[in-house]
Amino acid sequence: MTQRLRLADAGEAADLAAFLGRLVHYDRAAAVRLQAGGGALAVFGRPPSFEVLAIRTARLAEPVSLDLTVSAGELLESVDEAAGTADVPAPVTGPPWTGVLPPRGGWRPVPGLPGAEAMRAAVAAAVREFRARDEALPADRRTRAERDRIGREIWSRTLGESELPLRAVHAAQSLGFLRPVRATVPAPAPAPGAPGPVALFAAGSWLRLRTPYGSIATRRPGGGLGALPVSPVRPA
Protein backbone atom coordinates (compact mmCIF):
# COMPACT_ATOMS: atom_id res chain seq x y z
CA MET A 1 0.00 0.00 0.00
CA THR A 2 1.27 3.46 -0.90
CA GLN A 3 2.24 5.56 2.09
CA ARG A 4 0.77 9.05 2.06
CA LEU A 5 2.54 11.94 3.73
CA ARG A 6 0.32 14.66 5.09
CA LEU A 7 2.21 17.93 5.20
CA ALA A 8 1.43 20.65 7.70
CA ASP A 9 -0.23 22.91 5.11
CA ALA A 10 -0.41 23.75 1.41
CA GLY A 11 2.62 26.05 1.71
CA GLU A 12 4.83 23.18 2.88
CA ALA A 13 3.63 21.09 -0.06
CA ALA A 14 4.32 23.91 -2.52
CA ASP A 15 7.84 24.45 -1.17
CA LEU A 16 8.57 20.72 -1.35
CA ALA A 17 7.32 20.60 -4.95
CA ALA A 18 9.46 23.62 -5.87
CA PHE A 19 12.58 21.96 -4.46
CA LEU A 20 11.89 18.67 -6.24
CA GLY A 21 11.15 20.56 -9.46
CA ARG A 22 14.55 22.25 -9.37
CA LEU A 23 16.32 18.94 -8.78
CA VAL A 24 14.48 17.35 -11.70
CA HIS A 25 15.21 20.41 -13.85
CA TYR A 26 18.93 19.74 -13.46
CA ASP A 27 18.68 15.93 -13.55
CA ARG A 28 15.60 14.13 -14.86
CA ALA A 29 16.77 10.91 -13.21
CA ALA A 30 17.39 12.53 -9.82
CA ALA A 31 16.90 10.45 -6.70
CA VAL A 32 16.21 11.79 -3.23
CA ARG A 33 16.62 10.20 0.16
CA LEU A 34 13.73 10.73 2.53
CA GLN A 35 14.07 10.63 6.29
CA ALA A 36 11.14 11.31 8.58
CA GLY A 37 10.82 11.06 12.30
CA GLY A 38 8.02 12.55 14.33
CA GLY A 39 6.60 15.64 12.68
CA ALA A 40 9.39 16.52 10.25
CA LEU A 41 10.49 15.27 6.83
CA ALA A 42 14.01 15.77 5.48
CA VAL A 43 14.62 15.44 1.74
CA PHE A 44 18.22 15.04 0.56
CA GLY A 45 19.26 15.58 -3.05
CA ARG A 46 22.48 15.93 -4.98
CA PRO A 47 22.14 18.43 -7.83
CA PRO A 48 24.71 17.77 -10.57
CA SER A 49 27.61 20.16 -11.18
CA PHE A 50 27.88 21.35 -7.57
CA GLU A 51 29.48 18.50 -5.55
CA VAL A 52 27.22 19.21 -2.57
CA LEU A 53 24.12 17.82 -0.88
CA ALA A 54 20.93 19.89 -0.78
CA ILE A 55 18.52 19.42 2.11
CA ARG A 56 14.91 20.61 2.29
CA THR A 57 12.81 20.01 5.39
CA ALA A 58 9.04 20.06 5.65
CA ARG A 59 6.67 19.99 8.59
CA LEU A 60 4.25 17.07 8.72
CA ALA A 61 0.68 17.14 10.00
CA GLU A 62 0.98 13.53 11.16
CA PRO A 63 4.12 11.92 12.61
CA VAL A 64 5.69 9.16 10.52
CA SER A 65 8.86 7.10 10.53
CA LEU A 66 10.54 6.80 7.16
CA ASP A 67 13.99 6.27 5.66
CA LEU A 68 14.33 5.33 1.99
CA THR A 69 15.49 6.54 -1.43
CA VAL A 70 12.96 7.31 -4.18
CA SER A 71 12.73 8.94 -7.59
CA ALA A 72 12.52 12.73 -7.25
CA GLY A 73 10.34 12.93 -10.36
CA GLU A 74 7.84 10.35 -9.10
CA LEU A 75 7.65 12.06 -5.72
CA LEU A 76 7.10 15.41 -7.43
CA GLU A 77 4.25 13.98 -9.52
CA SER A 78 2.54 12.73 -6.36
CA VAL A 79 2.55 16.09 -4.54
CA ASP A 80 -0.96 17.53 -4.21
CA GLU A 81 -0.36 21.12 -3.19
CA ALA A 82 -4.03 21.92 -2.54
CA ALA A 83 -4.49 18.89 -0.30
CA GLY A 84 -1.05 19.24 1.27
CA THR A 85 -0.16 15.58 0.62
CA ALA A 86 2.47 13.51 -1.17
CA ASP A 87 2.53 9.79 -1.89
CA VAL A 88 5.82 8.00 -1.26
CA PRO A 89 6.92 6.19 -4.45
CA ALA A 90 8.44 2.73 -4.50
CA PRO A 91 12.04 2.77 -3.30
CA VAL A 92 14.89 2.72 -5.79
CA THR A 93 18.48 1.59 -5.54
CA GLY A 94 20.16 4.72 -4.32
CA PRO A 95 23.31 6.21 -5.84
CA PRO A 96 26.41 6.06 -3.59
CA TRP A 97 25.88 9.53 -2.09
CA THR A 98 22.65 8.42 -0.37
CA GLY A 99 24.71 6.37 2.05
CA VAL A 100 26.95 9.29 3.04
CA LEU A 101 24.71 11.88 4.69
CA PRO A 102 25.61 14.67 7.11
CA PRO A 103 25.23 13.91 10.83
CA ARG A 104 21.94 14.75 12.51
CA GLY A 105 23.50 16.43 15.51
CA GLY A 106 26.70 17.94 16.82
CA TRP A 107 26.58 21.06 14.66
CA ARG A 108 28.31 24.17 15.95
CA PRO A 109 28.13 27.72 14.54
CA VAL A 110 31.14 28.83 12.49
CA PRO A 111 32.02 32.54 12.07
CA GLY A 112 33.28 34.32 8.98
CA LEU A 113 30.27 34.03 6.67
CA PRO A 114 29.20 37.25 4.88
CA GLY A 115 25.54 38.23 4.55
CA ALA A 116 23.15 36.79 1.97
CA GLU A 117 23.41 39.81 -0.32
CA ALA A 118 27.20 39.59 -0.33
CA MET A 119 26.96 35.87 -1.09
CA ARG A 120 24.66 36.50 -4.05
CA ALA A 121 27.10 39.16 -5.30
CA ALA A 122 30.03 36.73 -4.97
CA VAL A 123 28.21 34.12 -7.07
CA ALA A 124 27.34 36.71 -9.74
CA ALA A 125 30.97 37.86 -9.90
CA ALA A 126 32.20 34.27 -10.19
CA VAL A 127 29.77 33.54 -13.03
CA ARG A 128 31.01 36.65 -14.88
CA GLU A 129 34.61 35.58 -14.37
CA PHE A 130 33.91 32.09 -15.65
CA ARG A 131 32.22 33.41 -18.79
CA ALA A 132 35.00 35.93 -19.46
CA ARG A 133 37.72 33.31 -19.09
CA ASP A 134 35.77 30.83 -21.19
CA GLU A 135 35.29 33.37 -23.99
CA ALA A 136 39.00 34.22 -23.88
CA LEU A 137 40.06 30.64 -24.53
CA PRO A 138 41.52 30.03 -27.99
CA ALA A 139 39.46 27.68 -30.13
CA ASP A 140 41.86 24.76 -29.69
CA ARG A 141 41.56 24.95 -25.88
CA ARG A 142 37.81 25.41 -25.62
CA THR A 143 37.22 21.88 -24.36
CA ARG A 144 35.10 20.41 -21.59
CA ALA A 145 38.23 19.50 -19.65
CA GLU A 146 39.56 23.07 -19.78
CA ARG A 147 36.21 24.54 -18.81
CA ASP A 148 35.96 22.13 -15.89
CA ARG A 149 39.45 23.13 -14.79
CA ILE A 150 38.50 26.81 -14.79
CA GLY A 151 35.24 26.10 -13.03
CA ARG A 152 36.88 23.98 -10.35
CA GLU A 153 39.43 26.73 -9.69
CA ILE A 154 36.72 29.38 -9.31
CA TRP A 155 34.13 27.41 -7.35
CA SER A 156 36.64 25.88 -4.95
CA ARG A 157 37.52 29.30 -3.58
CA THR A 158 36.35 29.88 -0.04
CA LEU A 159 33.89 32.57 0.91
CA GLY A 160 34.76 35.45 3.23
CA GLU A 161 36.69 34.30 6.28
CA SER A 162 35.08 30.85 6.25
CA GLU A 163 36.04 27.46 4.81
CA LEU A 164 32.83 27.30 2.77
CA PRO A 165 33.57 26.76 -0.95
CA LEU A 166 31.85 29.13 -3.34
CA ARG A 167 30.23 26.17 -5.14
CA ALA A 168 28.03 25.62 -2.06
CA VAL A 169 26.71 29.18 -2.29
CA HIS A 170 26.23 28.77 -6.06
CA ALA A 171 24.13 25.66 -5.35
CA ALA A 172 22.10 27.47 -2.69
CA GLN A 173 21.26 30.30 -5.07
CA SER A 174 20.49 28.01 -8.00
CA LEU A 175 18.09 25.96 -5.85
CA GLY A 176 16.27 29.04 -4.55
CA PHE A 177 17.67 28.82 -1.03
CA LEU A 178 19.21 32.32 -1.04
CA ARG A 179 16.22 34.32 -2.21
CA PRO A 180 15.01 37.10 0.12
CA VAL A 181 12.66 35.91 2.86
CA ARG A 182 9.03 36.72 2.10
CA ALA A 183 7.57 39.07 4.68
CA THR A 184 4.44 36.91 4.98
CA VAL A 185 6.43 33.76 5.74
CA PRO A 186 8.34 33.70 9.05
CA ALA A 187 11.83 32.26 8.91
CA PRO A 188 12.47 29.04 10.84
CA ALA A 189 13.69 29.49 14.39
CA PRO A 190 17.51 29.66 14.40
CA ALA A 191 19.46 26.84 16.00
CA PRO A 192 20.98 27.66 19.40
CA GLY A 193 23.91 30.00 18.93
CA ALA A 194 23.16 30.68 15.27
CA PRO A 195 24.10 34.21 14.14
CA GLY A 196 20.94 34.67 12.04
CA PRO A 197 18.65 33.08 9.46
CA VAL A 198 21.57 32.47 7.07
CA ALA A 199 24.40 30.79 8.94
CA LEU A 200 27.27 28.37 8.66
CA PHE A 201 27.71 25.30 10.84
CA ALA A 202 30.31 22.54 11.15
CA ALA A 203 30.20 18.96 12.40
CA GLY A 204 33.26 16.77 11.98
CA SER A 205 34.32 16.92 8.32
CA TRP A 206 31.05 18.53 7.22
CA LEU A 207 30.05 22.16 6.64
CA ARG A 208 26.40 23.21 6.36
CA LEU A 209 25.09 26.47 4.95
CA ARG A 210 21.64 26.95 6.49
CA THR A 211 19.08 29.35 5.04
CA PRO A 212 15.35 29.86 5.70
CA TYR A 213 14.55 27.79 2.59
CA GLY A 214 16.94 24.87 2.91
CA SER A 215 20.51 23.83 3.58
CA ILE A 216 23.58 22.96 1.55
CA ALA A 217 26.05 20.49 3.04
CA THR A 218 29.54 19.74 1.80
CA ARG A 219 32.63 17.99 3.04
CA ARG A 220 35.80 19.84 3.91
CA PRO A 221 38.78 19.24 1.59
CA GLY A 222 39.79 15.60 1.76
CA GLY A 223 36.28 14.35 2.56
CA GLY A 224 34.53 15.13 -0.71
CA LEU A 225 31.46 13.60 -2.30
CA GLY A 226 33.21 12.59 -5.51
CA ALA A 227 34.41 14.54 -8.50
CA LEU A 228 31.82 16.42 -10.50
CA PRO A 229 32.13 19.16 -13.11
CA VAL A 230 31.49 22.60 -11.67
CA SER A 231 30.55 24.83 -14.59
CA PRO A 232 28.11 27.64 -13.75
CA VAL A 233 24.45 26.65 -13.67
CA ARG A 234 21.69 29.17 -14.24
CA PRO A 235 18.99 29.22 -11.54
CA ALA A 236 15.67 27.70 -12.63
Number of CB atoms found within 10 A of residue 99's CB: 9
Q: How far apart are CA 142 and CA 62, in angstroms?
A: 53
Average pLDDT over residues 4-8: 96
Mean residue pLDDT across the chain:
87
> How confident is the model over 169-177, as a mean pLDDT?
94
Angle between the 166-174 and 116-136 helix axes, to the nearest 10 degrees? Answer: 100
Statement: residue 182 has pLDDT above 70: no
Average pLDDT over residues 199-210: 96
Q: What is the 3-state secondary structure (H, E, C) of 84-124?
A: CEEECCCCCCCCHHHHCCCCCCCCEECCCCCCHHHHHHHHH
Of 164, 178, 154, 170, the residue nearest 218 (C-alpha): 164
pLDDT in tens, 104-119: 899 999 999 998 899 9
Q: What integer is the mean pLDDT of 75-104?
A: 95
pLDDT band at 191 (very low <50, low <70, confident <90, very high): very low
Burial 48-60 (b: 16+ CB within 10 A, else e): ebbbbbbbbbbeb
Question: Does residue 163 register a pLDDT over 80?
Answer: yes
Looking at residue 170, what is its pLDDT?
95
The yes-or-no verdict on residue 234 having pLDDT over 80 is no
Q: What pLDDT score was predicted for residue 222?
A: 59
Region of 106 on the Ramachandran plot (φ > 0 left; ψ -120 to 50 alpha; else beta): left
Fold designation for 4-99: DNA Polymerase III; Chain A, domain 2 (3.10.150)
Q: How many residues does the chain have?
A: 236
| Nearest CA-CA partner of 204 in 112, 109, 110, 106 | 106
pLDDT over 70 at 84, yes or no: yes
Averaged pLDDT, 5-26: 96
Q: Which residues contact 141 (CB under 8 A, 6 or more apart)?
A: none
pLDDT at 233: 42
SS3 36: strand
User: Coil, helix or strand for 128?
Assistant: helix
- pLDDT given for residue 227 in this prediction: 37
Residue 181 has a pLDDT of 62
C-alpha distances in Å from residue 231, one per residue of 139, 143, 147, 194: 18, 12, 7, 31
At 176, give phi and psi (nearest 5°): 85, 15
Mean pLDDT confidence for 151-169 = 94
63 pLDDT more than 80 = yes
Confidence of residue 230 (pLDDT cuts 50, 70, 90): very low
For the segment 28-54, the average pLDDT, to the nearest whole number, is 94
Question: What is the residue extent of each domain of the chain?
Answer: 4-99, 108-219
Which comes out higher in pLDDT, residue 220 or 27? 27
Q: What is the pLDDT of residue 43?
A: 98
